[in-house]
Amino acid sequence: MAAEADTLGAQVRALLLDSARDASEAVATVVALVCQGEFAEHYPRQALVRLRHILDRPEPDEAVRTAQEALRDIAANEGQLPRVWSTVIKWATQKKRLAGHRAFLSLLDPPVDPYVLQVMLAAAEQKKDIKEALVEGWSVALRSPSAQCVSRNRIHRPDHCHGPHRAALLGGRRSTSPDRADCRPTHPSSSRPS
């Protein structure tokens, strides 16, 4: 891969960063796809930065959806979840940008892939700081006008998680959303071994 090459690697990585900010959906989608592959294995921090720029796009287009998938893939790689989680929680709570809210919600979206949510809920039972980060992340996402609809649709979606995961996300309350027509899943389901 050119991004890893000794001679051109730095230039290619810089081009990927510039392209992640490109207004073109096609260009940003290609960058997100690159961030799903070997680039993320060798340069996970750089991949996360590029994905953040794509996730900050104003519309949830194909580039954003591909970036969300790439983020989940990186988080599922062995040993990467702590790095991804600490990065995403900073984006979501400190920077308070759309990218942070999208990244946070993407990681904790059980119909797409329950792996990260399962790990984070298990960790929250053991570690107070993780529990507080989960609560703060949801709180910030629900307060943000740009992410409120996405957040609420994730929580109230009828095909959302069930049992203890749903109860944990709703704080023990049941969903009472009268308008379920807008609560369609945005991604095909996938399963990850837990």
When pLDDT is cut at 50, 70 and 90, the band that residue 4 belongs to is low
The pLDDT of residue 99 is above 80:
yes
**Phi and psi for 11 in degrees, rounded to 5?**
-65, -40
The pLDDT of residue 22 is above 80:
yes
Nearest to 92 by CA among 108, 80, 75: 108
Q: Which residue did the predictor score with more confidence, 13 or 169?
A: 13
When pLDDT is cut at 50, 70 and 90, the band that residue 188 belongs to is very low
Q: What is the mean pLDDT of residues 12-35?
A: 96
Q: What percentage of the chain has pLDDT greater than the value 90?
A: 46
Q: What is the mean pLDDT of residues 142-159?
A: 56
The pLDDT of residue 60 is above 90:
yes
Q: Which pLDDT belongs to residue 153?
A: 53
DSSP 42-86: H-HHHHHHHHHHHHT-SS--HHHHHHHHHHHHHHHSTTTHHHHHH
Mean pLDDT of all residues in the chain?
77
